[in-house]
Amino acid sequence: MRRCLTHALVAVAMTAPMSALAQENNNCPPGAWFCEEVEPPSDPAAGPPSADPAEAPPAEALPPPPPAPPPPPGRRATRPAPPVVVYQTSPPGQPPQVIVVTPGSAPPPRVIVRRMTPPAPPPPPKLRWRRQWGVNFRMQGLMMGREHGGAEDAGMGGVGVSLRYRPVPAFALDLGADILAGTDYNGYQRTEVPLSLSGMLFVNPRSRTQFYFMGGLNTAHADVDVERPWSEAAAGDEEFVRDTEYDYFGVHGGIGLEFRLSPRLALNIDALGFVRSRTDDGAVPEFRDPETGRTTDTSGGGLFRGGLTVYW
């Protein structure tokens, strides 16, 4: 019993220095029973243990990057790139047109869209009436009744010209001269030169086809070859021809149409009726009704005219 205790004390005494030596040299043979796993003591000045490169800290844990250094003195800071401007127009009745203006390459800039409405078109210029002058050339026929002893072959025709002044769109003055020839109401050969002053009232002066009323005063001079039996002037059975002159003054009126071919050229047709009376000192009446014997120096008729007017 005492011998066993002695061996145990000797073993303990030998184990203590060997354990201390193993800790100092950190050299423990594999499989030694006196080696045990011991964590090294933590050193507060040594910082946290290094992490495994495979286990990097998350991005949120990284510190923010340092701010950009300020520009050196005497040098202005670089201004940010201007934004892209998009202009979008919308003409009436057409799809919108988009125009993009990009100021060079830059980081994704802001985009500003501006809708530009095109200005309203200017109003059309107002057409101002300009006073017009014109010359009318015409052909005409005279219509006479055959009642109360008129000749069967009575009829006259001729040509005429007039100067026309139109100060306003709805009104014009017409000063005309005509020449007519043919067989008159009594069956005599007649040549007549009428002069007329007329006013023309246009109902629709802005239209291409214009309707007008016409009226005014007229005067005329006529040369007539009068054939009378010799018995009325002297004895005998022979007939003689005597030239007779007549002068007239009267009024006329009617309606017509003017067709505008262009601003400078127009065609016209009209119908006029007239009434007139003699103004000469003739002692013999011009007209005599063979049935009643009544006489008169008042006459009338109708004119149908067609012509061409040149304006300037």
Q: What is the pLDDT of residue 152?
A: 81
pTM above 0.75, yes or no: no
Q: Which of 181, 186, 184 is nearest to 159 (CA)?
A: 181
Tens digit of each residue's pLDDT (9 = 90 or more) over 213-271: 999 999 999 999 887 554 444 444 444 456 689 999 999 999 999 999 998 999 999 99
| pLDDT for res 22 | 42
Residue reference for tokens 């799809």 = 95
- Pairwise pLDDT comparison (25 vs 204), residue with the higher score: 204
**pLDDT at residue 132, rounded to an integer:** 92
Residue 275 inside a domain? The answer is yes
Task: Please give the pLDDT value at position 248.
Answer: 95
Decide if 5 is inside a domain. no
Q: Is residue 64 part of a domain?
A: no
What is the domain-level CATH number for residue 208? 2.40.160.20
Query: DSSP letter string over 48-105?
Result: SPPPPTTSPPPGGGSPPPPPPPPPPTTSPPPPPPPPEEEEEE--TTS--EEEEE--SS
Confidence label for 117 from pLDDT (cuts 50, 70 and 90):
confident
Q: In the prediction, which pLDDT does 295 show?
A: 86
The DSSP code sequence of 224-280 is EEEEEEGGGTSSSS-EEEEEEEEEEEEEEEEEEEEEEEETTEEEEEEEEEEEEEE-S
Domain assignment present for 278: yes
Range 94-111 average pLDDT: 60
- The reply to whether 33 falls in a domain is no
- The answer to whether residue 211 sits within a structural domain is yes
How far apart, in whole angstroms, are the C-alpha atoms of residue 41 and residue 57?
Answer: 26
DSSP string, 95-123: --EEEEE--SS-SS--EEEEEEPPPPPPP
* Helix, coil or strand: residue 194: strand
Tens-place pLDDT, residues 7-49:
555 454 455 445 544 444 445 555 544 445 555 555 555 555 5
Q: Which residues contact 292 (CB under 8 A, 6 or more apart)?
A: none
- Tally the domains of the chain: 1
- Which structural domain, as residue segments, surrounds residue 218? 132-311
Domain-embedded: residue 175: yes
Calculate mean pLDDT across residues 167-181: 95
Phi-psi region of 23 (alpha: psi -120 to 50; beta: other; left: phi over 0): alpha
Q: What is the pLDDT of residue 21?
A: 46
Q: Tell whether 208 is covered by a domain.
A: yes
Q: Which of 224, 242, 244, 219 is nearest to 184 (CA)?
A: 224
Least confident piece of the model among 89-98, 201-210, 261-270: 89-98
Q: How far apart are CA 164 and CA 175, in angstroms?
A: 6
